[in-house]
Every structure is written in structure tokens, then in C-alpha cells.
Structure 1
Amino acid sequence: MVIISSHTFAASKGPIHYLAAGPTTGPLIVFVHGCPFIAMTWRPQLECFANLGFYVAAADTTGYGQSFNSRQVSDYSMESQVADQLELLSHLGREKAIFVGHDWGSAIIWSLAAHHPEKCLGVAALGIPYRTVELGLEKLVSTVDRELYPETKYPYGQWDYMLYYEQNPEKAEVYFAQHFERLTKLFTTRYDGLRKASITADLTKTGGFFGSQAPPDLPFEASVLDHEIFNAVVASERNNGSFGIIAYYRNGVANRAYNDPKRCANGAKLDIPCFYLDCSADLASVNSSSTNWTAEMRELCSNIFEVQLNCRHMVALEKPTETNALLARWLCEHTQAWPVDRSSGILKPGNPCTLDRNEI
């Protein structure tokens, strides 16, 4: 049985709390969560990869869980978040790691790889391709499917909610605080994947989600969260408030400047092993131009492994077995991070192995 331990260390901005498991001599995988979640949402992955011989860690990012809760918007920028991940890496005593991200966590690990590829044995992003979310609203609007979202009616497409957060941060923060439990169930339910205009496309017109009325109270069974994770996510918001949740969306201009190719290593080109899992029933994929959504990633990542699952946004919890199997296949076949040399059976961090994909 895998024991997941809880730790906190003193980082530059304040305490960073993280979960860890597995042999400390194994190759390191760092998991980075998204909005509005916490490190615990990676539990199925922490358990799986610890069992496979990896040393795994997942931190609560700024404003979540037991980590530093800031009222400074800039503390939620990609530059600040990358610095936090580098401090975690140093605290764990490593020079480099595999970084796996989801949602905003994907934006963080892509930004980290763009600026510090020497710290990455590889990067794996769930649901968010390279050079999209980390570049802010202007970039995301360029990926909108204009057949579904005519520009005259939906100038910002499904990303209109991000503009609303930028323009009305205090109102959005209050709404989240008032309805967080319902919103959490709504955000983690199984999206039907149909190609239709999203509720996120009208917030600036209607004055917020559902015209600022209470969201529907969906049955808990519709969510992909179990009660333990759901309660922990809700407790995080109750303890920290919703400022941080909205603040991640308020750094678009700063994030775009930070990730300008002129400021990135190698002009933002990535030669390290990269993994992208497309969630085919997630509104981000369903509502985006299939070409524009991944265009820069395919152009700039020379070693990219792309896969697709029929799932919605919370893929790692909705389909944990499939997600873990695909990550394991990539780690074994495309990186130098597999912990066991299959020819000898010896635990040897850094050695690649030959693993039949049918065995995963």
C-alpha cells in the first residue's frame, strides 16, 4: 500500500505544502494541479507512479490548500508560479524532474519548460496544449472555432469568461464564494462533448454565470470527484477564499510578455520529450479550431507524443487508469526516466527500458 505523506517547506513567498510518495531514490515526477483544485486531485497518479518506482510530489499552488495565500495578483502569474516549482524542485534535492500539469498546471509546466528546459526530463500536459493558456486571452481567442462562435456574436468565443474575470474580479470572487460547492460539481461533471455554444461564452453579456443567479445544484453523482477530494477542495476555498481562483486569470498580459519567445530559452522551441493528452469531450477542445488549438505546439515541440481520450476536463480523475497507462507508456518509450531496467530488473533511475505497450 502506498503511503502519501504531507509536507510543508518555507519558500520565498511563503509556505508551500506538498504531498509525496514513492522511493526517494526513484526518478522524480512533479504533478501540478489546475483551477480550482488542490494537490490531492492527483491522488490516483501519486499512488500509481509511486508503485511503479517513481518518487512523486504534488504541491498546492498559491492560494490553494495549505500553501501560501496571497492577495497580490502578480503572485499568480506564470513567472511567479514557475519560480515556486523550481523552489519545490530544489527543496526535493533534485536538478530536474518530469513535470505533469493539468488546466492551469499545464500552463505552468509549459512555461517552466520554455524558460528552463534544463530542469525538465520531460513535460506532460493534460487538456492544454503548448502556447495557449500561458499566452493569455489574446492567444486563446485566435483558437476559437468561428463556425460555432461567429465573431460578431461571440468575439471572445468560449473564453469570454476569462474577460469577465479580468473586468469584474471582485464580483466573480463573491460569486465563487457564494456558490463554490455547486460550481465545483458543475465544473467536474461529465460534459457531453456536443459541439454547442458554452455557458462560458456569455458572461460579459449576462453579468456572470447564469446571469449572476445561483448555478443548478447537480447531484453529487454527476461529478468525477469522490467525497474525500470534493470536501478537501471545498475546504480549501473556505479557508483561502476565492481571490486566488480569479487571480490566475488576471495575469494575461504579464504571462504573454513572460512567455515571449525572445525571453524564452531556444526561442520557445522545446527539444525535450513532451506529452499532450487531448480531452475530446472537454469544452476547450470541442469549442476550438482543431488546427489552431495545437498549431504552435506541433511547430515548436520537436519530440511530442500526442494522444486523445474520450473524456472531459477532469481526465485524471474521470479516467485515471487510462490516463496513468498513457503517461506510463510515454515515460517508458519516449523519456529516460523509467525507473527499472527491464533487461536486468534492477532499479536504476535514468535508465530507459523496453516495455510492451500491452503490458501497461
Structure 2
Amino acid sequence: MKKTLASDNYSGTTPEIIEAIAKANGAHQGSYGADESTDTAVAMFKKMFREDIDVYFTMNGTGANVTALSSVCPSYGAVICSSVAHINVDECGAPEKFGGFKLLTVEKENGKLTPEDIAPFMVNLGEQHWSQPKVISITQATEYGTVYTCAEIKAIADYAHENGLLLHVDGARISNAAVSLGVSFKEMLLDTGVDFVSFGGTKNGLMFGEAVIFFNTAISENYKYVRKQGMQLLSKMRFISAQFEALFGTDLWERNAKHANKMAQKLASGLSKVAGVKITQEVKANGVFAIMPKEIIPALQEQSPFYVWDEQTHEVRLMCSFDTAEEEINAFLVKLDSLLLELA
């Protein structure tokens, strides 16, 4: 089967992760997280950040986001996010259905919020006729492949806390962001004042599984009940936690993310030299966004399937993964050149 530029969800599972799952399958262990792998994985996260955090594993990203937000935001509350945030456009209304709260969205060309974007929602705090903002949720790296700097995250966190709000990070591609910035997870999340994070693994080589981490443990008291009620408590938890154990037991997380980012840079470099193609976003992680002639898109998708991000402008999204090969990038660029030549 051909590899694609459609999504890092299309990629397979890193061999080291497969080995970890097989190893976890070797004996009977306690269920619902009462196992050695879960203990080890939690200890790894605590070493990465600090001892006083709460770590919970979930089966998928939507489950992580929905249960995390629902555990801290009441039904009369609201979550402020970008209009392209995954919780707004790609989770089928699950946050609002499950949590009952409202999403307040901001249109941003690069997907990145600022305190100035959030300020307009602060005018009706305490007004009983209005949904009350409780959480700001940002995505790192964003759905546009852009990346918040540590200073930008801290500015949002400071603003949130000054106004009695919490800051949540949807970290589906958190490893790609950390590699892009050249900083540790601690520097990017804990030190900037983030309250809680949905820590992604699936898009960085895991078969399945994410983690919800509370740095602000004052708000995590109810999470375990919400996770269970939200059908995200896996009975054989060791098959999730063993993957994180393997991911952080070596530099696997970094190698996977670094390679995906490198392939995106290679792709962007090639596209930037092609007349008739315009890169629309700064390439910081493993995604490239570009506008190209609509006539060539179907044939190019046959070479390597990808998604059209905006049908009106013919903007496409090209995603690289831990297993994207340079040869595939080269073949894509050659096909693009030939199609543009035919079009001319």
C-alpha cells in the first residue's frame, strides 16, 4: 500500500512500540491501570515534569480532550479556542454534547490565539444570561502546523489566570512542537503555566493512546470519574502505558518527531521553488499548507493522497510522518512539476 501525505494518522506504528505491546502481552497483570507498565509510564512523566502531577491514560485524542475539558468546565461554562481547533471542527460536537458547555471561537489565519483575541469574551463575566468562560484551549502544534513559542504560551497562561480561567493544551502533535522549538516538554508546558494538557502519542508513532496530565492538581479531583463515565478507561491499560514507556524509555519520541519535521521542511523547500504554488503557513512542525492550481490536485492525489484544506482557495494540507521517506517527497515534487508543465 502506498504511503501518503494525508495525515500522520495514516502512518503505521513504530516497530519499537509494537515490541512494547508484545512484551506487555506476556503475563497477567492488574487491570484499569494497576500494572507495572502504567506505574513506570506515570513515573516517567513525573520525572519529565515534577512529582506533583496527575497522569491519566486515554484511548484516543478526542476522548482525552473531551474528558479533560468536561472535568473542569460546567455546562453553563465556555471554552475559548481557535475556529480551526480540533475540538471545534473535528470532534463531531463531542465536547459540547458530552460536557454540555459552549465553545467560543476566534478566527485566526495562523491558528494561534493571543490574549488580545481572548479579551472580548471577558466583558460579561458574572452575567447570568451568558455562558461563562472557564477554559482557554490552544493546540500545540496548531492545526495549521504553526507553533506557539514558550513566551506566547506563558502570555496566554498569565492572562487566563489573571481572569480566573484555566489553560488547556491540545497536544496531539506536542512532540513535533517541542522538537521545532528545541525545548523540553517541561519548559514548554509546566514552566509556562499550562494547567492541563492532552498529551498526544498516536500521531508520533503509537498504535493508540494519549495521556491527560494535570499540572494544576487542584482541578483533577473529578477526572477519574469523568474518564470512566466517558468510556476512556481501558481495562487492559498496560497496552497504552507500555507504549509511552517505550516512547520515553529512549529518544524514540524525539527521533520520530524530528524526522517528520525534517520531511516537512524538505517538502516545503521543494514547493517554494515551484512557480504556481504558494505556501500559506510558516512550516514549523510536520505539516505544509499550500495553494496550487485546482486542475492538478486530483492527479497529484493519485501519486500521494492528501486532503484539500480549503475548497474555495484550493489550499491543501500535506502531512509528514515518522516513516515518510525522502524518496516519496522527491517523487511527489517530480509529479507536481510534470503536472504543472502539462497545464502550461
The TM-score with structure 2 as length reference comes to 0.30
Structure with bigger RCO (C-alpha 8 Å, 6+ apart): 2
Whose Rg is larger?
2
The TM-score with structure 1 as length reference comes to 0.29
